[in-house]
């Protein structure tokens, strides 16, 4: 007798099952919701320049500002936009979503060949459900593609040593690392080889042999990116060189006095990386926190001699670390080296650490299975926590979207005092255009997942309970991504204001100006630039005799001081910006010289 469909795929076609889950949880929703941050429209504008202005080497993304990053992600965005002839949220986010699916597949294949099926399958599910990767997979940024390529290069490097003992030349690895460098610079080559070099040291390869094997790989990996860097230099000249050095080297070294018109930003202390790791692995960090209450605490017996601490604790731990399975040793080294590597630069972001996630997930998966088998009560607390969150979200959908009995804005006013948050909630609610069948379907999926959860909860088949809990969390993500997040994006997006400006004023390619000096005037308005077709021009550079100037309130005060004697400015529009892209208040003024 054939088992039920899900069980059949789990046992016979696990790869297909993982791809389906990844597709349903991410790819289906990337087209819903407009841009609402500055990063997404900035990257998408590069693809617009490629399609509409044929700037395939060094595209402009804001007035005369050139793209900060190498163009592989933007090339893919442009290619996926060709069928419709325009860049859309779906086509610009699709490279990240596709890289996410590839990352899940690569992780499962890598661990599945050396470890137990349950461990490798669960490690892939940990990645699928981790907050940071899920968020990055649904954005039009370069980080998800870079993560996939770095992880793919690392897994190929491991197999090169495992199967061929570094014999032969790994052409495929050089190509993968070259593509990674074309995604976000030299880090796509440096980081995989740094991890692999440390791993080879643990395997007791000599430094000379490591250098002899890896230097040719470095040189081969540089071929693709060097071709682009040469062509980009011919287009951008010194400005491109300044940005390239700042983004790839001075950001890492924390240098000041850079010849660029913006601050590198994201300056944080080294411990910030560990906070973002904890947040990025939600919901699994919740389980790890709960498990702390199951640790048996006893009074330690301190040795009389201080030096005996090394022999009692550190030496056995180091021995255990070194003598673990090769794939676990490689994973541990990869996770540690990547996190430590990104603790060095002064600039830190949560997405930088994503290449470490697959190698951390395998240890989380093992620990989760250990807790399920040996600490079932602690695991049950986690299951109940996820169930309660899902029930609350389902109840909110039912009472505010399906049957609008409760006013969420009024309810939020009792719980939240920050006005900006209240404004965002109000905009989210206003963007709902009544419930649809999709909303009902997603709520039914959530209810069914809860039914399956209650069916298995409390029984001794711990794997079924674990997978039913993961099913509830996946259904919860579907509700958030299919109902609330699109409404939030549409509610605070500047797309509506851009359409209003286009309808009301005769906007042309050469009459809409902005300032473009972040150090002098503050943040740019990348969302408005995208929705106004990437047609902004630099006001200070061109100083037109007559034109429209789109500018933040604070920046306008500075422009008035500098150019008040040359121009007569007339305020045409005032817009209260709800995004974090640009200033809170934006002016449209007409300037006549």
pLDDT value at position 67? 85
**For the range 537-540, what are the long-range contacts, defined as Cβ-Cβ under 8 Å and sequence gap of 24 or more?**
537/63, 537/64, 537/510, 537/512, 537/513, 538/63, 538/64, 538/513, 538/514, 539/513, 539/514, 539/515, 539/591, 540/515, 540/516
The answer as to whether 289 is a domain residue is: no
The Cα 557–Cα 515 span in angstroms is: 12
The answer to which of 138-142, 234-238, 389-393 has the lowest mean pLDDT is 234-238
586 bridge partner residues: 552, 575
pTM reported for the whole predicted model: 0.93
Q: How many structural domains are present in the chain?
A: 3
The answer as to whether 65 is a domain residue is: no
> CA of 313: how far to CAs of 236, 292, 308, 324, in Å?
56, 20, 9, 17
What average pLDDT score do residues 392-417 get?
Answer: 83
- Rounded to the nearest angstrom, the gap between the alpha carbon of residue 160 and the centroid of all alpha carbons in its chain is 29
Asked if residue 452 and residue 507 are part of one domain, the reply reads no
pLDDT value at position 370? 94
The Cα 99–Cα 117 span in angstroms is: 23
| Helices and strands counted in the chain (H then E) | 30, 7
Asked if residue 444 and residue 480 are part of one domain, the reply reads yes
**For the range 45-49, what are the long-range contacts, defined as Cβ-Cβ under 8 Å and sequence gap of 24 or more?**
45/526, 45/529, 45/530, 45/534, 46/71, 46/74, 46/77, 47/74, 47/77, 47/78, 47/81, 47/87, 47/91, 47/92, 48/87, 48/530, 48/533, 48/534, 49/534
Q: b/e for 306-342, b at 16 or more Cβ within 10 A?
A: eeeeeeeeeeeeeeeeeeeeebbbbbbbbbbbbbebb
pLDDT tens readout for residues 453-489:
999 887 778 889 999 999 999 999 999 999 999 989 9
Q: Is the pLDDT of residue 172 over 50?
A: yes
What average pLDDT score do residues 231-260 get?
Answer: 75
576 bridge partner residues: 585
The Cα 412–Cα 124 span in angstroms is: 36
pLDDT value at position 521? 86
Q: Is the pLDDT of residue 311 over 90?
A: no
The Cα 460–Cα 542 span in angstroms is: 73
pLDDT tens readout for residues 358-368:
999 999 999 99
Confidence of residue 297 (pLDDT cuts 50, 70, 90): low
Asked if residue 415 and residue 333 are part of one domain, the reply reads no
Asked if residue 120 and residue 267 are part of one domain, the reply reads yes
The answer as to whether 320 is a domain residue is: no
pLDDT value at position 424? 79
Token reading at 164: 């061929």
Domain that holds residue 575: 496-592
The residue among 141, 99, 103 whose CA lies nearest residue 124 is 103
Q: Is the pLDDT of residue 299 over 60?
A: no
Asked if residue 231 and residue 153 are part of one domain, the reply reads yes
> CA of 176: how far to CAs of 127, 148, 408, in Å?
22, 10, 48
The residue among 389, 375, 388 whose CA lies nearest residue 288 is 375
The answer as to whether 215 is a domain residue is: yes
Mean pLDDT of the chain: 89
What average pLDDT score do residues 243-270 get?
Answer: 68
Token reading at 199: 């791993």
Asked if residue 446 and residue 539 are part of one domain, the reply reads no
pLDDT value at position 577? 87
pLDDT tens readout for residues 535-564:
899 999 999 999 999 999 999 999 999 998
The Cα 593–Cα 543 span in angstroms is: 9
Q: Is the pLDDT of residue 349 over 80?
A: yes
Query: Between 75 and 504, where is the model more confident?
Result: 75
Contact 396, 441 (CB under 8 A): no
Asked if residue 138 and residue 267 are part of one domain, the reply reads yes
The residue out of 458, 493, 528 marking a domain boundary is 493
pLDDT value at position 242? 81
Cα distance from N-terminal residue to C-terminal residue, the chain: 83
pLDDT value at position 144? 97
Would you state the torsion angle of the CA atoms of residues 374, 375, 379, 381, taken in this order, to the nearest 10 degrees? Answer: 160
Q: Is the pLDDT of residue 449 over 90?
A: yes
pLDDT value at position 415? 78
The Cα 529–Cα 179 span in angstroms is: 28
Element holding 396 (H helix, E strand): helix 376-397
The residue out of 465, 493, 521 marking a domain boundary is 493
Asked if residue 257 and residue 120 are part of one domain, the reply reads yes
pLDDT tens readout for residues 59-101:
988 888 888 789 999 999 999 999 999 999 999 999 999 999 9
Q: Which residues contact 177 (CB under 8 A, 6 or more apart)?
A: 149, 153, 188, 189, 192, 193, 217, 221
- Rounded to the nearest angstrom, the gap between the alpha carbon of residue 259 and the centroid of all alpha carbons in its chain is 28
pLDDT tens readout for residues 119-135:
999 999 999 999 999 99
The answer as to whether 355 is a domain residue is: no
The answer to which of 130-139, 388-397, 402-411 has the lowest mean pLDDT is 402-411
Asked if residue 173 and residue 115 are part of one domain, the reply reads yes
pLDDT value at position 1? 41
Asked if residue 147 and residue 274 are part of one domain, the reply reads yes
The answer as to whether 566 is a domain residue is: yes
The answer as to whether 385 is a domain residue is: yes
Contact 482, 436 (CB under 8 A): no
The residue among 188, 108, 81, 82 whose CA lies nearest residue 143 is 188
pLDDT tens readout for residues 206-244:
999 999 999 999 999 999 999 999 999 999 888 888 878
The Cα 362–Cα 151 span in angstroms is: 14
The Cα 349–Cα 338 span in angstroms is: 13
The residue out of 443, 472, 493 marking a domain boundary is 493
DSSP 98-118: HHHHHHHHHHHHHHHTTS-HH
The Cα 426–Cα 496 span in angstroms is: 16
Asked if residue 272 and residue 340 are part of one domain, the reply reads yes
Asked if residue 406 and residue 512 are part of one domain, the reply reads no
The answer as to whether 363 is a domain residue is: no
């Amino acid at each position: 007798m054939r088992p039920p469909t899900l069980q059949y795929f789990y046992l016979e076609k696990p790869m297909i099952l993982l791809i389906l889950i990844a597709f349903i949880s991410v790819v289906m929703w990337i087209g819903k919701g407009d841009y609402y941050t500055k990063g997404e429209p900035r990257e998408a504008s590069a693809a617009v320049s490629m399609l509409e202005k044929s700037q395939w080497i060094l595209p402009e993304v804001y007035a005369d500002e050139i793209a900060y990053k190498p163009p592989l992600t933007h090339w893919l965005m442009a290619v996926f936009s060709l069928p419709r002839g325009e860049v859309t949220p779906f086509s610009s986010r699709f490279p990240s979503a596709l890289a996410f699916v590839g990352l899940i597949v690569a992780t499962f294949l890598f661990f599945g060949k050396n470890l137990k099926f349950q461990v490798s399958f669960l490690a892939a599910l940990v990645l699928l459900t981790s907050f940071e990767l899920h968020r990055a997979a649904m954005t039009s940024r370069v980080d998800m593609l870079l993560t996939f390529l770095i992880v793919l290069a690392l897994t190929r490097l491991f197999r090169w040593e495992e199967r061929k003992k570094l014999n032969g030349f790994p052409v495929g690895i050089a190509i993968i690392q070259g593509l990674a460098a074309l995604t976000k610079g030299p880090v796509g080559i440096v980081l995989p080889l740094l991890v692999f070099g440390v791993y080879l040291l643990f395997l007791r390869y000599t430094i000379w042999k490591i250098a002899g094997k890896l230097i040719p790989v470095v040189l081969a990996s540089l071929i693709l990116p060097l071709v682009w860097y040469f062509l980009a230099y011919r287009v951008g000249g010194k400005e491109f060189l300044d940005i390239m050095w700042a983004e790839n080297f001075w950001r890492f070294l924390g240098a000041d006095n850079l010849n660029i018109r913006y601050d590198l930003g994201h300056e944080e202390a080294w411990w910030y990386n560990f906070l973002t790791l904890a947040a990025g692995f939600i919901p699994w960090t919740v389980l790890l926190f709960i498990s702390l209450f199951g640790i048996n605490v006893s009074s330690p017996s301190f040795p009389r001699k201080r030096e005996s601490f090394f022999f009692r604790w550190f030496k056995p731990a180091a021995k255990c670390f070194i003598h673990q399975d090769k794939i676990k040793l490689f994973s541990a080294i990869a996770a540690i080296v990547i996190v430590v590597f990104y603790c060095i630069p002064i600039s830190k972001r949560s997405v930088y650490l994503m290449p470490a996630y697959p190698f951390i997930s395998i240890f989380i998966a093992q620990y989760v299975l250990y807790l399920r088998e040996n600490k079932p009560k602690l695991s049950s607390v986690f299951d109940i926590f996820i169930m309660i969150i899902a029930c609350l979200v389902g109840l909110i959908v039912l009472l505010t979207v399906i049957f609008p009995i409760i006013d969420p804005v009024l309810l939020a006013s009792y719980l939240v005092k920050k006005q900006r948050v209240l404004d965002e909630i109000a905009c989210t609610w206003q963007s709902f255009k009544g419930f649809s069948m999709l909303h009902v379907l997603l709520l039914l999926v959530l209810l069914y997942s809860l039914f399956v959860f209650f069916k298995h909860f409390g029984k001794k088949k711990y794997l079924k309970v674990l997978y039913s809990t993961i099913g509830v969390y996946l259904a919860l993500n579907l509700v958030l991504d299919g109902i609330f997040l699109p409404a939030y994006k549409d509610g605070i997006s500047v797309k509506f204001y851009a359409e209003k400006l286009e309808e009301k004023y005769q906007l042309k390619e050469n009459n809409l100006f902005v300032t473009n000096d972040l150090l002098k005037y503050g943040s740019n308005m990348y969302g408005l630039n995208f929705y106004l077709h990437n047609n902004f021009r630099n006001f200070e550079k061109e100083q037109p005799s007559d034109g429209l100037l789109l500018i933040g309130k604070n920046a306008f005060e500075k422009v008035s001081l500098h150019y008040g004697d040359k121009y007569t400015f007339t305020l045409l529009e005032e817009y209260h910006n709800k995004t974090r892209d640009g200033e809170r208040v934006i002016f449209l003024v007409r300037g006549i010289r």
